[in-house]
Amino acid sequence: MRIGRPTLLLLALALLLMLAGAPVRAQLAIVTSAPGGAHAESLSTLRAKLQATLPGTRIDAIDWSELSRARLDGSRVVVSIGTLAARAVERIAPTQPVLHILLPAAAYHNLPPRPPGTGPVSAIWLDQPPQRQLRLIRLALPDWDRVAVLASADGGPGVEAIRGETEALGLTLTSARVGSDADLYPALREALTEPAVLIATPDPLIFNSYSVQNVLLAAYGHRSPVLGLSPAYVRAGALLGLYSTPAQIGTEAAGIVRDLLLGKAMPPPSPPSIFAVAINAAVARSLEIELPPAEQLTAALMAWQEDDR
Amino acid sequence: MPIPMPPSTVAAAPARIGRPHRPHRSRPPALALVVALAAGLLPGSARAERDVLSERAFLDELPVVLSASRLAQPVSEAPSATTVIDRDMIRASGARSVDELLRWVPGFQVGQRSGFLPLATYHGLSDESPRRMLVRIDGRSSYTPYYVSGTEWHKLTVDLDDIERIEVVRGSNAAAFGSQAFLGVVNIITRNPAQSPAARLHLAHGENGVRDRSASVSRRFGPGALRLSLGRDGDAGVDGLADSWRRHRADLRFDLQLDAAQRIEVHAGGTRLDGGAGRAHSVVNPEREMTSDGEFALLRWRWQPSSDEELSIAYAHEHNRLEDRYRIDALEEALVRDFGFDPARADAALTSFGLGPGAFVLVDYDAEAVREDLELEHTFAPHADLRLVWGLGARTDRIDSSAPLMASARERYRSQRLFGNLEWRASPRWIFNIGLMIEDGSYVGTLASPRLAANYRLAEGQVMRAAVSRTARRPTAFERRSDMRFHEANSGLLLERRYQTPARLGEETITAYELGYLAELPRWQSSIDLRVFEERAESLISYARRAAADDRFDGLALEAGNNADATVRGAEVSATWRPALTTWLTLNYALLDIDGTDPAFNASAPRHSGSLLAAWTPASHWQLSLAWHHVDEMGWYAAPDQRLDSYQRADLRVARSFSLGPGRGELALVMQSIGSRTEDFRRGLGNGPRGFLSLRLEL
């Protein structure tokens, strides 16, 4: 095959640019649900990590309320941060690969089905896998073999998933149903008849900023530790917390985006694989529970996760 | 002369002479204010965010719930011996009031002076108006400053069902709570209103006129929670006294979470008690009706950035009143019956005073006390192994009496305090506590009460504790300033001087040494708490009869003085086996030996005392509980002939819980003093056997 001189020149130029470490001229659109707070933290980490691994990547940050199909033109990958942004993106149903982050698993599963011809979609949701939660309980509280969960009348997210994992770890699960606010305290009493580790679930009917007071006080009154799903829980009085910070999720998203930009396939939706453990030492002291340091628990969980792969 | 007796803390009045003058009658509209606040100013009832699809559950800030003040210190880490009475124990005991619960705390003495005047003290050293122990409810002192002072148990507005737990500190704890915690502290912690049932109804009905009714409602208003409990209690009092009583009470608590770190708490309440006082056949202390009432309001702001740090500022206003006025017409009879004159001498005495047949005396015990208290407390951890609690406070008591009971009809008592306790976890085995309270105020100068404690973990679940403390107690207003005189009403002639003001009165002190051993044996579901102690009390304040030149009856008046020293030595043991929350067996025993310069103090506590509280759930929904006590001979009074014989008391409670629609209930039969009546205050006065039924419904 004969190559014309101009083509040869262009190829040489491309080779030169690649050798000089020139950026892949990729485009990333990030749609956010809120301008500040956790959403901004995920955004800035994602941006920084991506700039570090793929310097020069052009990133366009768009507020969900200003999103239009035109704004996504030219982007090779779309990332949404938060549920509002995920819904806005799905309304447009872009043809590009879409990664949703910083949303609960339930919100992801509730997104409208994608029409044919649209790009691949995936997510890193906020929920920790039940197996990881139960494994943490085993590691931190080896003497405790009871776990308790509260469920909304409609089942609520996460309860069945936890139930499915308890037996393998030698744990017994008790659960109680909460139909309304008024049921909360009786349900807690029922679930904690015997002291148990209460696992907080992302069910806003049961665990919201008003009812958390009831939950934590009642559990404490029953000398039952709580496993919370955010650092705020630990600060509020949960003995343990297992969560992924917005920055950790941003970091993980940056890895996926880089792979997508480099042509790799979209991974399936999953819980975050980077996470942190926190403990409330004052609560541990009061409940007379001795806990290993949080760093040691995080490392042990990480090691277990690596082995499991 | 009968037994030297200070006027009742809540005295009495049948021959009531019109409505007594009540100075400063304006009631603080605390209750009304709080209800209005709750109803009007709250943010609209915020519904829980029901959108399961929002990430807020993972990302929202949450208020600090288990704050430093809410987290109970494990008993094994406390610098003093502590007994915790929890809700299950309160329920199973069948107790109708807080004071009864102290029977199950080793080293305590509990008696019933009249139906509504229970007495409780720790390690004796008390007359019939114990004033060397502090009772606190949610951090508010319930110490009443008027008359002989101490705790007026009937003024506690709290409903037993609203109590989360009672922490009884056995031993001096002035370093943390001030000099009124001379012998011990009873800390009552109520439930957060958010935890209370939406509605509760309780009825108790039984022998000896037991008629208790109470109702409670609680509501959540978004970030706020409110609980209001109302009650009316009463019974026919003690056999042998005309002391039937009825009490109305209201208690309110409102918590408002301002943001993740700030919280406002409002506590308010009021009581009114109408009861019978006096003795049959007494002229100077006749049977009569008296009234005691009061209100309080407390506002507390808390800043709780984490479970380790908390800053709180609390302001409390309290208003207590006593109405007890009566008239003595038969002066001659009074001299004969109450002062031991023979009739001829009595007649001659009155004639020599120039008193004819129309002479009479107005006895006026009416009094009112207004307390204001401001306290700041800060808890934080300057280092991972250190925890510092410090604070300062100021208190004013204004005591007004319509007839002079004290050297001044309007007495002011002020005190300021600065306190701190540093807890140092020197190693996983050692915890050291260093505490100091400095108090300044009326009557005596600056007093310091230090405490040093070390807890050493011998092995898993086993702790040794050694502590030394010194506590100085300031005289109360009545001790320092009492001056009670009775005049003939027409002539104004001073007849009797019952109390006179001492020329000087200093503080009393107690130096306590203790060694404790605690074991938690989870394998046996048991715990053991053992303690040996020596408490050296010096310059104890007591009332003694001194010459009173102007007393025309016997030439004597009671006068407070630093009259006695006493050393209390002994041991306490408490063992609990608790295989389940509702099934347990607790045994308590105390050996007390008081050796001092005053025989009355030496006899003020039983040498041996023991108690048992057991509960058992034989079948689902059923609970059986049994309580038993043994108390060796002791005396609340100075006179040896007033000492009590040793006694035993057994109580039984059978309860059946049930579901009722959306709510639940419990029906219980309580039998007290089974087999024989209990005389726990004075020979010839006692209670029981008696039984009552209790019905509790909760929604």
- In A, which residues are within 8 Å of B304 by CB distance? none
Pairwise CA distance, residues B398 & B318, whole Å: 10
**Distance (Å) from the alpha carbon of B8 to chain A's nearest alpha carbon:** 40
What pLDDT was estimated at residue A13? 53
For residue A237, give the chain B residue with the closest CA. B66
Distances (CA, A) of A170 to A122, A134, A138, A142, A164: 33, 10, 9, 11, 12
Residue B51 — pLDDT band, cuts 50, 70, 90?
Answer: low
User: Residue B87: closest CA among chain A residues belongs to which residue?
Assistant: A221
Helices (H), B146-209: 174-177
Q: What is the pLDDT of residue A57?
A: 87
Cα–Cα dist B393/B377, whole Å: 8
Q: Please give the C-alpha separations between residue B343 and each of A92, B149, B471, B658, in angstroms, as whole numbers.
A: 110, 36, 50, 66
C-alpha angle A18-A21-A24 in degrees, rounded to nearest 5: 70
Which of B50-59, B70-79, B184-193, B197-206 bottoms out in mean pLDDT, i.e. has the lowest? B50-59
The residue in chain B having the minimum alpha-carbon distance to the alpha carbon of residue A181 is B48
- pLDDT value of residue A309: 67
Portion 118-147 of A in contact with B at CB < 8 A = 126
DSSP strand E in B548-643: where? 556-580, 583-596, 608-616, 622-631
CA–CA dist B386, B424 (Å, integer):
5
Determine contact, residues A238/A228, Cβ cutoff 8 Å: yes
Distance CA(B671)–CA(B696), nearest Å, equals 17
Which residue of B lies nearest to A109 if distances are taken between CA atoms? B53
Q: Shortest Cα distance from A172 to chain B (angstroms)?
A: 18
Nearest to B72 among A38, A216, A286 (CB): A286
Higher pLDDT, residue B402 or A54: A54
- Planar angle of CA B49, A252, B260, nearest 5 degrees: 35
Residues of B in contact with A107 (CB under 8 A): 52-55
* Through-space distance between the first and last CA atoms of chain B, rounded to whole angstroms: 57
Distance from CA of B198 to the nearest CA of A (A): 8
Cβ of A218 under 8 Å from any chain B Cβ?
A: yes
Which member of A202, A217, A280 has the closest CB to residue B192?
A: A217
CB contact at 8 A, B217 and B201: no
Q: A22 or B257, which is more confident? A: B257
Q: What is the pTM of this model?
A: 0.85
Does the distance separating the beta carbons of A283 and B66 come in below 8 Å?
A: yes
Distance in angstroms (rounded) separating the CA atoms of residues A243 and A277: 7
Q: Between chains, do B55 and A103 touch, taking CB under 8 Å as contact?
A: yes
Identify the pLDDT of residue B651: 96
pLDDT at B622 over 90: yes
Q: How near does any CA of chain B get to the CA of A246, in Å? A: 9
The contacts of residue B81 (CB under 8 Å, 6+ apart) are: B169, B170, B171, B465, B514, B516, B529, B531, B572
Q: What is the DSSP code (8-state) at residue A200?
A: P
Q: List CB contacts of B119: < 8 A, sequence separation 6 or more.
A: B99, B109, B110, B111, B112, B113, B126, B128, B129, B130, B636, B681
CB contact under 8 A, A235 and B306: yes
Q: Cα(A162)–Cα(A180) distance, rounded to whole angstroms?
A: 22
Task: Return the DSSP state at B634.
Answer: B
* Residues pairing with B319 in the sheet: B295, B370
Find the range with the poorest average confidence among A185-194, B412-421, B646-655: A185-194
CB A54 within 8 A of CB A77: no
Of the ranges A180-194, A239-253, B626-640, which one carries the lowest mean pLDDT score?
A180-194
Q: Rounded mean pLDDT of B598-624?
A: 95
Of A202, A209, A237, the CB nearest to B307: A237
Q: Given a cut of 90, is residue B585 above it in pLDDT?
A: yes
Helix (H) or strand (E) holding B654: strand B647-660
How confident is the model at residue B180, as a pLDDT?
86
Q: Do A209 and B197 touch (CB under 8 A)?
A: no
The rounded Cα B44 to chain-centroid distance in angstroms is: 38
A59 bridge partner residues? A28
> Tell me, what amino acid is at A102?
L
DSSP B665-679: EEEEEEEES-SS-B-
Looking at the partner chain, which of A202, A214, A280 has a beta carbon nearest the beta carbon of B58? A202
* Pairing label, strands B108-114, B81-86: unpaired
> In which band, very low, low, confident or very high, does the pLDDT at A29 lie, cut at 50, 70 and 90?
very high
Question: What was the pLDDT predicted at A7?
Answer: 66
What's the rounded mean pLDDT across residues A243-251? Answer: 97
B509-566: pLDDT as tens digits: 999 999 999 999 888 999 999 999 999 999 999 999 999 888 888 889 999 999 999 9
Q: Which chain B residues are closer than 8 Å to A236 by Cβ? A: 62-66
A83 part of contact set with chain B, CB < 8 Å:
yes
Mutate to test the interface with A, among B47, B54, B58, B254 (most CBs of A within 10 A): B58
Least Cα separation, residue B55 to chain A (angstroms): 5
- Chain A nearest-CA distance from B73, in A, is 5
Closest partner CB to B50 (pick from A82, A205, A218):
A205
**CA–CA separation, B650 and B675 (whole Å):** 8
Q: Please give the pLDDT value at position A11.
A: 62
With CA atoms as reference, the chain B residue closest to A111 would be B53
C-beta atoms of A282 and B59 within 8 A: no
* Inter-chain CB proximity B49 and A204 less than 8 Å: yes
Interface test with B, best of A144, A145, A146, A209 (most B CBs within 10 A): A209
Contacts of residue B473, defined as CB under 8 A and 6 or more positions apart, other chains included, come to B132, B174, B179, B180, B182, B507, B508, B509, B510, B541
Interface contact flag, A210 B220, Cβ < 8 Å: yes
Q: Is the pLDDT of residue A3 over 90?
A: no
CA distance B205 to chain A (A): 28
